[in-house]
């Protein structure tokens, strides 16, 4: 049986050189065939990487999806010089040396599997936060399952999926680009797994540490709905998220930024609209997460 060829895309802004080097070392230690690595400097120079690691230096920060797309293309059109691409945060670490082999096994045994979402664990406590389990029933992070989305900085994607549905949405810059890609993949017939045995260590930090968090989360929610949902579901999806946002009782400043982003999502171009099929809506619902929440 032919062994699947793996690649890894890591984007960096050049501000975590020690973490990046530790991650690169952990990828190099993976059992089985060597994993080809591309490090993308997102508006930054990439220095002090081991021999054999390829680098791409972008003149400006293109955001998370734009940076990852540049890394994909470094592996050929839609990344198809390899069979599967790992996307890893530059401050993450693969603690186990068999993760690469587990990825190969998963994609080999299930030809319909398009994406695998890893379990993110805190390096000091080993704990996995609920928000890092990509399903509504997230109380048991050790339970693997089929899911409807995945974690952006800790995943593996079959490159045939990218070739079929396209890359990540550049215009999103930050937030929800994974769900946009996941919905397109599911609509094309691919499956997504959350695997608790594929672990990425990552420090426990709140996503709101990013200054643009609240604005982009809201803007991209609107874009996500406008791009992907059947017309009757767009207002339902957005109404649900307005309610959930208010229930979380954000600060006045955060709420102001959120509603500013929400308005921006309606008044700015969101890219091509390709509403998912109704059978995809039903499929997502059967998997435990209807596309209204």
Picking from 205, 230, 250, the residue at the C-terminal end of a domain is 205
Q: What is the CATH number of the domain that holds 57?
A: 3.90.550.10
CA 12, chain centre distance (Å): 15
CA distance 92 to 71: 17
- Same domain, yes or no, for 179 and 219? no
| Among 147, 175, 205, residue at a domain's last position | 205
115 shares its domain with 141: yes
Q: What span, in angstroms and rounded, lies between the C-alpha atoms of 250 and 196?
A: 31
Q: Are residues 78 and 193 in the same domain?
A: yes
Identify whether residues 78 and 184 lie together within a single domain: yes
Whether residue 272 lies inside any domain: the answer is: yes
Spatial contact of 190 and 238, defined as CB atoms under 8 Å apart = no
Which parts of the chain fold into alpha helices (H)? 17-28, 63-73, 99-109, 159-165, 177-187, 213-228, 233-247, 252-267, 278-286
The b/e string for 71-99 (b: 16+ C-beta within 10 A; e otherwise) is bbbbbeebbeebbbbbbbbbbbbbebeeb
Considering the domain boundaries, does residue 282 fall inside one? Answer: yes
Rounded average pLDDT per 10-residue block, the chain, 293 residues: 92 96 98 98 95 97 98 98 98 98 98 98 94 94 98 97 98 97 98 98 73 90 98 98 94 93 97 97 96 94
Q: What is the pLDDT of residues 10-38, one digit of tens each?
A: 999 999 999 999 999 999 999 999 999 99
Does some domain include residue 73? yes
Contact yes or no for 150/178 (Cβ under 8 A):
yes
- DSSP tag of 212: T
Q: Are residues 167 and 26 in the same domain?
A: yes
Verify that 128 and 270 share a domain, yes or no: no
Q: How far apart are the first and last CA of the chain?
A: 41
The answer to whether 69 touches 167, Cβ cutoff 8 Å, is yes
Q: How far apart are CA 199 and CA 173, in angstroms?
A: 26
Distance CA 106, CA 82 (A): 16
Structural domains of the chain, count: 2
Look up the domain containing 234 and give its range. 210-286
- Distances in Å between the Cα of 221 and the Cα atoms of 38, 142, 161, 262 are 30, 28, 23, 8
Contact 188, 164 (CB under 8 A): yes
Distance from the Cα of residue 157 to its chain's centroid? 10
Domain membership flag for residue 147 = yes
Q: Give domain status of residue 291, yes or no.
A: no
Both tokens assigned to 290 = 């209807």
Q: CB 116: neighbour CB atoms within 10 A?
A: 26
Supply the angle between the helices 177-187 and 213-228 in degrees, to the nearest 10: 20
**Which pLDDT belongs to residue 5?**
98
| Residue reference for tokens 């599911």 | 186
What is the pLDDT, as a whole number, of residue 104?
98
Task: Pick the last residue of a domain from 183, 205, 227.
Answer: 205
CA distance 273 to 223: 9
Nearest CA among 233, 207, 214, 224 for reference residue 169:
224
The predicted-structure confidence for 171-218, as pLDDT tens digits, reads as follows 999 999 999 999 999 999 999 999 999 999 999 876 655 558 899 999
DSSP bridge pairs for 36: 7
Provide the 8-state DSSP code for 33: S
């Amino acid at each position: 049986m032919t062994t699947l060829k793996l690649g890894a895309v890591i984007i960096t802004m050049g501000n975590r050189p020690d973490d990046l080097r530790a991650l690169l070392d952990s990828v190099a230690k993976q059992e089985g065939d060597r994993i080809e690595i591309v490090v993308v400097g997102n508006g930054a120079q990439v220095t002090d990487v081991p021999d054999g690691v390829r680098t791409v230096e972008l003149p400006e920060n293109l955001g998370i999806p734009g940076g990852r797309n540049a890394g994909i293309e470094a592996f050929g059109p839609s990344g198809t010089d390899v069979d599967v691409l790992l996307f890893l945060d530059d401050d993450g670490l693969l603690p186990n040396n068999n993760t690469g082999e587990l990825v190969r096994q998963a994609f080999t045994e299930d030809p319909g599997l398009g994406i695998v979402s890893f379990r993110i664990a805190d390096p000091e406590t080993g704990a996995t936060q609920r928000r890092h389990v990509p399903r509504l029933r997230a109380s048991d992070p050790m339970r693997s399952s089929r899911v409807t989305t995945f974690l952006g900085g800790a995943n593996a994607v079959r490159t045939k999926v990218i070739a079929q549905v396209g890359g990540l949405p550049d215009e999103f810059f930050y937030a929800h680009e994974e769900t946009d890609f996941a919905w397109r993949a599911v609509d094309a017939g691919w499956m997504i797994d959350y695997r608790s045995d594929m672990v990425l260590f990552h420090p426990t930090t709140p996503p709101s540490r990013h200054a643009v968090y609240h604005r982009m989360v809201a803007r991209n929610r609107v874009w996500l709905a406008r791009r992907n949902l059947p017309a009757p579901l767009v207002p339902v999806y957005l109404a649900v998220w307005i309610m959930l946002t208010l229930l979380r009782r954000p600060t006045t400043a955060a709420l102001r930024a959120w509603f500013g982003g929400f308005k921006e999502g309606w008044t700015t171009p969101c890219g091509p609209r390709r509403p998912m099929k109704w059978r995809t809506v039903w499929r997502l619902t059967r998997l435990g997460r209807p596309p209204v929440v």
